[in-house]
Amino acid sequence: MYEYDKKSFAQILSELRRTAGLSQRKAAADLNISQALLSHYENGIREPGLAFVVRVCDYYHVSADYMLGRTLARDGSMLTAEEILNAAEPGNVLQGSVLATLRGKLITSASGVLFGLLGKLGDKDAINAAADSLGCHIYLLYRLLHRAAGGNTAYFALPEEDCAAGAASAGASLARTDYARALAKLSREKAAFPDLSHEAVNSAFPGRSQGMIQVLSTADGQLNRLNQSGLK
């Protein structure tokens, strides 16, 4: 049996058709099924067989992993350890465990893509708010490590009790609100947002875009599992 998430498949199937600018009737005819059956698939009412999954992958030129919601890359690619290391600066030397180095490079690549895209927008408020939110999260993670290692709390200006009470998390949340507000303002002003299609991002950020895809795919999977477990 192939791994299958009915909700993800239905959403992806519908999104692919709309992105291609096809009517449900046209897509159904091309896929050799009735429009009613395609509608059931797109709404998660019916589950398709493996043969249909293969046929729809060929039709939209995507991988089965993408179609089944297992990766955000249409070609099904995921960043490998070799690709991560090759994307690093020349002469890079592994520091610490391999896992920590690889995960760190994924985050670095994803951050680079995010700020590269924000740079195309050129809005200082959005850029600063994104940096502030990310910085607060890094600050909190480092401070927890510092505390566990028995570090001197006097190293930080923020009192330990205030940090433990959630000051850093609150700072990240406020910055995220500012970020959302800045993006909403740009949207209202009809700003020219960058093309976020997989092809465009991969072309603009070769190598690093795979890091972004890996981070998004991992986080999306974790959050979806938490969401599903919370609904049960």
pLDDT values of the chain reduced to their tens digit, one per residue, 232 residues: 344 444 578 888 998 898 889 999 999 999 999 999 999 999 888 888 888 888 998 999 888 777 876 666 666 655 554 545 554 445 554 445 556 766 787 888 899 999 999 999 999 999 999 999 999 999 999 999 999 999 988 899 999 999 889 999 999 999 999 999 999 999 999 999 999 987 888 888 877 887 888 788 778 877 877 887 775 5
Residue 77 lies in a domain: no
Do 123 and 191 contact (CB within 8 A), yes or no?
Answer: yes
Residue 127 lies in a domain: yes
Same domain, 55 and 168: no
DSSP letter at 166? T
Q: How many domains, the chain?
A: 2
Q: HSE on the CB side for 152, CA within 13 Å?
A: 3
Same domain, 89 and 194: yes
Nearest to 202 by CA among 69, 75, 90: 75
- pLDDT at site 227: 80
Same domain, 96 and 40: no
Same domain, 42 and 122: no
Q: Which residues contact 43 (CB under 8 A, 6 or more apart)?
A: 10, 14
- pLDDT at site 223: 84
Rg of the chain in Å (alpha carbons): 22
Kindly list the distances between the CA atom of residue 148 and the CA atoms of 95, 135, 142, 173, 197, in Å, as whole numbers in the listed order.
21, 20, 10, 24, 42
Same domain, 189 and 216: yes
Same domain, 20 and 61: yes
Do 93 and 75 contact (CB within 8 A), yes or no?
Answer: no
- pLDDT at site 71: 64
- pLDDT at site 211: 80
Same domain, 53 and 104: no
Residue 227 lies in a domain: yes
- pLDDT at site 98: 55
Cβ neighbour number for residue 73 with a 10 Å cutoff: 22
Nearest to 138 by CA among 109, 168, 165, 159: 168
Do 146 and 175 contact (CB within 8 A), yes or no?
Answer: no
- The single residue listed with the structure tokens 């610490």 is 96
